[in-house]
Amino acid sequence: MEFSNTKSRHPRLRKPSNSQRDEIGRVRRQPPLCTTRRGFLHTNRLSGISGAAYDAVVMQITHARRTCLLLVVFAVAAAVAGPRAAEFLTEGVDRARTGWVRDEKLFTAANVGSTRLLWKLKLESTPRAMHNLFAPLVAEAVATANGPREIGVVAGVSDDLFGIDVATGRQLWHRHFDSTLTQPGGTNDTLCPGGQTAVPTMAQTSAGKYTIYAVSWDGRLRQVNLADGEDVAPPEKFVPGGGKPYALNLSDNVIYTATAQGCGGLTNAFYSFDLATRRASAFIPAGGGLWGRRGASIDPEGRVFIGTGDGPFDPLTRRLGNGIVAVKIDANKQLQLVDYFGAPNANWLWRRDLDVNTTPVVFDYRGAKFLVGTSKECRLWLLDRDALGGEDHRTTLDTTPLICNDARAFDARGVWGALGAWQDDRGAQWVLVPFWGPVSTEFKAPIEHARPTGGGVAAFKVEQRDGRWQLAPAWLSRDMDLGEEVVIANGVVFAYAGGEDATQVTPDKAWDEPGGPVYGGGLSSGPIRRVPNSRRAALYALDGQTGKELWSSGNVIESWNHFSGLTVANGRAYIATFDGTVYCFGVER
């Protein structure tokens, strides 16, 4: 709206005289216009005045009534809307993969203890090897034919998507992708199960409308309407079919993923797809698999980071295995290497199969740009994103002692889930590390709720001491049966124990044990041995400041999961299990 300073030519809108101003003052001293009976203006308030005074009062009344009406509208809208709703549109909450649900207000440290099972839903999803469902992505106020709904989308390894009304636990739609592969049935290989191995990502395209971006096993990018499961665009070729991509990330209209384990005979690589130009790109770091659970993380500068798994670290021959690699898309929509880091013992990690297997987490703090990474060795690296590893690409800002895995074992120990990062109300920066197996004898924290043997969560604060940035241990959680991903919501740390059989070698058996004697040590990572020996998952809520347990799901969850995840939004926490069940826990809303 534009306003003019020119004098009005309306004959009645002239400036009132002094005597007329006195009359106006008498009217002003009457009760406020917004408080008149039933909101109507009493005409007797204007008795006894006329002319310019009358018109001036009418103008002020009109302005006052409009102002009052706007105030009422805004107050009602605020009351109806309440706190800003939280959404969980991508694995790890944001493109930085922090796991921090910044808009969550319904869960609090005071009420999370009243969390209960709200519903559970069995989905028609066929497992492959040890894989089945991922945790849902959740969007609030999705426009549907039956009005606005809070909807979650669950991806299944057998190329399935499920739409769920999360308020009721009712399935809304089911989508099974077609395939261009000649043999789309999958395998029984834990490392290369075949199927949809990448957690999708979502974006709001307009008010109430959301698009799901997913990659089916044939490598095509799917764009699906969250409200009804229908395509919003034809499938597009994104990555080679038959591989194993990891969680998708979306930034500036570009989809990113990475592949690992050499599944389908493919070379492990970064991949990008520009939604506007429909151009795909790949960058091959010539290292091991890029298999961080949450896929690649992206910083505000557009740099894309992920750890590289098994493979030698030799930059002179452009082999960047067992490190962290940063790429960035150029003006031609092609991925280019911009930086890399290799731990001082990178090649020892490779020989011991202690590869960099987690998504690095991105955050800014007090003007510094940080990246934190780890590996199955179970120690953290604090890095400067503007100079990964310094001049020699091998030097960290800080390296922690071992958190777990004193045995230096490649299975059932180490960090396998996903890191978390958040800032509390006092401005302190936290880094959270879920881990598998016994806590290290080297790790000590000021607050310890146990010395875990099965796994747990370790918390650190980012602090500057004597001009040097450090990761200072803060607390250690209770014991967990393999600590997996963490999600932080309103000062509450949600973590879960996966409960799978994570061993990958045959165990020793004495002569007097059933099936003994067995001389163990042989590689045995397949599902035939591991599935029957897996246990059950459990969900926990911890105090973000102290690590104290505030709530747990106990024995409610009846199955376990492998390489799945955790979702928290709007007073509800979700976890999916190997038997095809989605569990929703929450507080009263």
Say yes or no: 287 and 322 in one domain: yes
Confidence band, pLDDT 50/70/90 cuts, at residue 589: confident
pLDDT for 546 beyond 70? yes
What does DSSP assign to residue 167?
T
pLDDT score recorded for residue 17: 52
Q: Strand runs (DSSP E) across 180-320, as ranges? A: 201-206, 209-215, 220-225, 231-237, 249-251, 254-258, 270-274, 280-283, 297-298, 304-307, 313-314, 319-320
pLDDT score recorded for residue 43: 38
529 within a domain of the structure (yes/no): no
pLDDT for 56 beyond 80? no
Q: Which long-range CB contacts under 8 A does 241-245 form with residues at least 24 apart?
A: 241/180, 241/181, 241/217, 242/181, 242/194, 242/217, 242/218, 242/266, 243/219, 244/191, 244/192, 244/197, 244/289, 244/291, 245/197, 245/198, 245/215, 245/271
pLDDT for 269 beyond 90? yes
For residues 497-526, give the mean pLDDT.
Answer: 89
Rounded to 5°, angle at Cα 68 from 67 and 71: 90
Cα separation values, 150 from 111, 212, 229, 576, Å = 22, 14, 15, 18
Say yes or no: 144 and 38 in one domain: no
11 within a domain of the structure (yes/no): no
Q: Are 383 and 372 in contact (CB under 8 A)?
A: yes
Say yes or no: 72 and 168 in one domain: no
Say yes or no: 262 and 356 in one domain: yes
Average pLDDT of the chain? 89
pLDDT score recorded for residue 260: 93
pLDDT for 537 beyond 70? yes
Say yes or no: 114 and 206 in one domain: yes
Say yes or no: 75 and 163 in one domain: no
pLDDT score recorded for residue 376: 97
Residue 201 sits in which domain range? 100-178+189-500+535-586
Q: Which of 398, 397, 345, 339 is nearest to 376 (CA)?
A: 345
122 within a domain of the structure (yes/no): yes
| pLDDT tens digits, 145-186 | 999 999 999 999 999 999 999 999 999 999 999 999 998 888
pLDDT score recorded for residue 11: 39
Q: Give percent of the chain with pLDDT exceeding 70.
A: 86
Q: Which of 216, 201, 390, 359 is nearest to 290 (CA)?
A: 359
**Which carries the bigger pLDDT value, residue 23 or residue 534?**
534
pLDDT for 47 beyond 60? no
Q: Is the dihedral of CA 520, 521, 523, 527 positive or negative?
A: positive
What does DSSP assign to residue 481?
S
pLDDT score recorded for residue 110: 98
523 within a domain of the structure (yes/no): no
For residues 452-477, give the mean pLDDT.
Answer: 98
404 within a domain of the structure (yes/no): yes
For residues 544-560, give the mean pLDDT.
Answer: 98
| pLDDT tens digits, 433-461 | 999 999 999 999 999 999 999 999 999 99
pLDDT for 45 beyond 90? no
Confidence band, pLDDT 50/70/90 cuts, at residue 514: confident
pLDDT for 36 beyond 60? no
pLDDT for 57 beyond 90? no
Confidence band, pLDDT 50/70/90 cuts, at residue 522: confident
Alpha-carbon distance of 156 to 536, in angstroms, equals: 19
4 within a domain of the structure (yes/no): no
| Least reliable range by pLDDT among 70-74, 415-419, 437-441 | 70-74
pLDDT for 246 beyond 60? yes
6 within a domain of the structure (yes/no): no
Alpha-carbon distance of 235 to 223, in angstroms, equals: 7
For residues 272-279, give the mean pLDDT.
Answer: 97
Look at residues 81, 109, 125 and tell me which one is the last residue of a structural domain: 81
| pLDDT tens digits, 6-16 | 333 333 444 44
Say yes or no: 200 and 325 in one domain: yes
Query: Total structural domains in the chain?
Result: 2
Say yes or no: 156 and 45 in one domain: no
Say yes or no: 435 and 465 in one domain: yes
Confidence band, pLDDT 50/70/90 cuts, at residue 83: low
pLDDT for 72 beyond 50? no
Confidence band, pLDDT 50/70/90 cuts, at residue 24: very low
Q: Give the CATH number for residue 118.
A: 2.140.10.10
Q: Which of 483, 435, 432, 438 is nearest to 460 (CA)?
A: 432
Say yes or no: 397 and 464 in one domain: yes
For residues 115-129, give the mean pLDDT.
Answer: 97
Q: Which of 85, 115, 152, 130 is nearest to 494 (CA)?
A: 115
Say yes or no: 37 and 132 in one domain: no
pLDDT for 75 beyond 50? no
| pLDDT tens digits, 332-381 | 999 999 999 999 999 999 999 999 999 999 999 999 999 999 999 999 99
Say yes or no: 321 and 207 in one domain: yes
For residues 508-521, give the mean pLDDT.
Answer: 84
521 within a domain of the structure (yes/no): no
Look at residues 27, 48, 81 and tell me which one is the last residue of a structural domain: 81
